[in-house]
Amino acid sequence: MSVSGSSVEEGEGEGDVFEWDETGGLAETDPLLASESSHGPPTPTEDRRLRLNISGMIFETWESTLNRYPNTLLGDHARREKFYCPDGDEYFFDRHRPSFEGIFRFYQRGHKATADYENKMERPPNVPVEIFYAEMKFFDIDEAIIKQCLEDEWYSLEEDPYADLPTIEPQRSIWLLFDYPESSVAAKAIAVISVSIIFVSIAVFCVGTIPGFDANPLDSAISSNNTILDTLNRAYEDQLFCVETVCIIWFCFELIIRFYASPNKCSFIKDVMNIFDIVAIVPFFVDFFMIVGGFQLQKGSTASVFVRVLRLFRIFRILKLSRHVKGCRYLGGLLLKALDLSFF
């Protein structure tokens, strides 16, 4: 929801006054509303205008709007009353103002919540996720709503890392070995090997784009009349292709062994990062099986262009680092959001 405009009231101790109407737009604040209210917190039976002072910024709304979520701090009359200031006839919260703008919009959109419309908490773009999470916890927003918001932001809370381990052996030991580097020295060694191979694979991909190194032996193999054995022998004369094959063998082994040891096979298949892992190795097997199958492509043909574009999917291998580098998790989240914007 876009927010535009604001009204500022002059006076000592007064800040910006914001009021969102029920349609989600920004309405002008009526200066007479404040004078109509008597000092003292309104009773729960009255639907009155309430002033929320968030570190000097004033938000005004109807009490019924806050009561849509009675289990929250603002929706609970008794808990909200502790923050009432009779001098200004307002509720004062010494909290983060930019974060509250997102929380306030959530309350204002509450009237739209139906079976077909789910009201979601949306983080203001200029607010860090950690700060917004702390503000949601302070105002006691429902845990399910907070969880959905964090999932949309690709932000994971520090939970018990060993909560969902497999219960039987050897799956439990294998899962610890490949998914929990901090669990043992052997697991750290596996993590170092995995990260090293990922970097080598990315380096091979980058070197292959340099003029003079971009002659993939599979290109000539596909378009020539060589036998399968001759084609494979020629392909493996290329050092980059040999290194690529070693990397693919490790990726396949890692993916298969993790699937075998995973505590929940369905969740493993649906996991976005595992899908990226599969997509990243598909181009290699497309090339390889085209050689084995004896397919021949003419350079410049639609099929040849398709194969070359498919090879670009190898760049997804950088997302494999997300298991070891936290920043890559955000990279994956941004990529998915970009895809959503592109297609929808």
Whether residue 231 sits in one domain with residue 115: no
339 pLDDT band, cuts 50/70/90, is: low
Residue 219 belongs to some domain of the structure: yes
Is residue 8 predicted with pLDDT exceeding 80? no
pLDDT of residue 103: 93
Q: Which range, 71-85, 216-230, 264-278, is most confident?
A: 71-85
Buried-state track 50-62, b at ≥16 Cβ within 10 A, e below 16: bbbbbeebbbbbe
Determine the structural domain holding residue 227 and report its residue range. Answer: 171-343
Nearest to 18 by CA among 111, 10, 34, 26: 26
Q: What is the DSSP string of 62-100?
A: EHHHHTTSTTSTTT-HHHHGGGEETTTTEEEE-S-HHHH
Domain containing 217 — which CATH number?
1.20.120.350
By the 8 A CB rule, do 53 and 88 touch? yes
Is residue 13 predicted with pLDDT exceeding 50? no
> How many Cα atoms within 13 Å fall on the side-chain side of residue 260?
13
Is residue 6 predicted with pLDDT exceeding 70? no
Whole-structure pTM value: 0.49
Task: Specify which residues 93 forms β-bridges with.
Answer: 54
Per-residue pLDDT tens for 139-152? 999 888 888 888 87
Number of domains in the chain: 2
Per-residue pLDDT tens for 14-46? 444 454 444 444 443 433 333 334 445 555 555
Whether residue 75 sits in one domain with residue 30: yes
Per-residue pLDDT tens for 70-119? 999 999 989 999 999 998 899 999 999 999 999 999 998 876 555 445 67
Is residue 190 predicted with pLDDT exceeding 70? yes
Whether residue 14 sits in one domain with residue 104: yes
pLDDT of residue 301: 64
Q: Which residue has the higher pLDDT, 332 or 165?
A: 165
Whether residue 186 sits in one domain with residue 335: yes
Whether residue 82 sits in one domain with residue 202: no
Whether residue 146 sits in one domain with residue 176: no
Is residue 161 predicted with pLDDT exceeding 60? no
Rounded alpha-carbon distances, angstroms, from residue 301 to 110, 247, 297, 308 = 55, 29, 7, 11
Whether residue 196 sits in one domain with residue 102: no
- 3-class SS of residue 292: helix
